Amino acid sequence: MNSTKVKERIFLSSPHMSDEGYEMQYVKEAFDTNWIAPLGENVNGFERELAEKVGSKAAAALSSGTAAIHLALKAAGVGEGDIVFCPTLTFSATANPIIYQNAIPIFIDSDYETWNMSPKALEKAFEKYPEVKAVLVVHLYGLSADMDKIMEICKKHNVAVIEDAAESLGTYYKGKHTGTFGDYGIFSFNGNKIITTSGGGMLVSNNEERIAKARFWATQSRDQARHYQHSELGFNYRMSNVVAGIGRGQLKVLDQRVAQKNYIYEFYKRELGELEGVEFMPSNKWDEPNYWLSSMVLTGKVRPIDVMEALEKENIESRPVWKPMHLQPFFEKYDFVGTDVAEILFENGVCLPSDTKMTDEDLERVVETIKGLF
């Protein structure tokens, strides 16, 4: 009989409710008042509190980050046949809504300084496609893109900017929250994000009128009439009052989660950063990341697959860096502007477990497993 005990699983980034039970208080309030839907005080409160936290004038709570990107594109006037610049190194949820709008994504390479959209490649893309309608910028793994340079280029061309800050709630670029530089910003609260509502998203903007319009689209575009009247295509994209209650509670512990993610990153960097061929994700003096996922690139003999397999044997979750969109079977027919930076990051990158519930013992387990390969 095999008596080997399976070690407890260490997750990449799993839901972490507050020790204080804040989420349950808000959810209970919704139940006690029989106001679990539609909308309600938790939705209004979550919108208000998140907008205040990131420094935006208005916010719309939605069913997902993907829905938020979709409505941001619509609010920016992106429609059939329009070109949208999008980083190639991202999750497919950034690019999919461009297709929902029957628009055309053009993928832009990363740079090594930020892992995010390369301002140089962006300039080249403007030369090639001056008629572009909007630029989608992503702050990957909680690292901010170089927003000064990107905003300067986009302003020069007078084009709308949407920030996909799904992974970067709690990240500041030069003291300003990511997601608040462009015309629209979006956040995600899916299960693996730094705070979660089990699923959900938020659209933010300083343009209160456009946020009101997004709320209208998100509730089936019901015109103001006693009967059911619709002059525009509608969507069922609003967040429920129960889900928003979880969000309000989670928002109270966001700073704690950022501090813990920072601790995890520093722990790995200290223990693994000196190993041959190991390079951690970039750090820039203007960036205060939320360290959503601690990630590294491996340039020596030990390959990402070796690390991921060794960790999996120890019941520890990890994952590769996103596979670039221009290399995806679904998206490869669209143009790509850049060189091989995103591809190299994909081929050499690995995301380490960054779960805020990990103890020092868990972190040691991860570190010792990886050190064993060198």
Ligand X SMILES: Cc1ncc(COP(=O)(O)O)c(C=O)c1O
Residues that bind ligand X (CB under 6 A): 64-66, 90-91, 93-94, 138, 164, 166-167, 188, 190, 201
CB of 164 to ligand X, least distance (A): 5
Distance CA 171, CA 290 (A): 5
Locate all alpha helices (DSSP H) within 62-142, ordered by sequence: 65-75, 92-100, 119-128
- What are the phi and psi torsion angles at 213 (to 5°)? -65, -40
CB of 301 to ligand X, least distance (A): 31
CB of 271 to ligand X, least distance (A): 26
Annotation says 193 is catalytic: yes
Return the sign of the alpha-carbon dihedral for residues 301, 305, 306, 307. positive
Distance CA 174, CA 169 (A): 15
Cα-based angle 342, 63, 159 (whole degrees, multiple of 5) = 50
Q: Would you say 244 and 46 are in contact if contact means Cβ atoms under 8 Å apart?
A: yes
Q: In residues, how long is the chain? A: 374
Nearer to ligand X, 165 or 363 (CB): 165
Nearer to ligand X, 343 or 362 (CB): 343
The closest of 103, 50, 58, 96 to 76, measured between CA atoms, is 103
The closest residue (CB) to ligand X is 65
Two tokens, residue 60: 């719309």
Nearer to ligand X, 110 or 369 (CB): 110
CA dihedral 326, 331, 335, 340 (to 10 degrees): 0
Distance CA 177, CA 309 (A): 36
The closest of 13, 14, 9 to 316, measured between CA atoms, is 9
Nearer to ligand X, 82 or 167 (CB): 167
CB of 290 to ligand X, least distance (A): 13
Q: Would you say 337 and 107 are in contact if contact means Cβ atoms under 8 Å apart?
A: yes
The closest of 287, 35, 264 to 142, measured between CA atoms, is 287
CB of 12 to ligand X, least distance (A): 12
CB of 144 to ligand X, least distance (A): 13
CB of 305 to ligand X, least distance (A): 22
Indicate which residue of 124, 193, 213, 313 is catalytic.
193
- What are the phi and psi torsion angles at 349 (to 5°)? -95, 150
Partner residues linked to 136 by β-bridges: 162
Distance CA 76, CA 106 (A): 17
What is the distance between the terminal CA atoms of the chain, rounded to a whole angstrom?
A: 33
Active-site residues, by number, are: 193
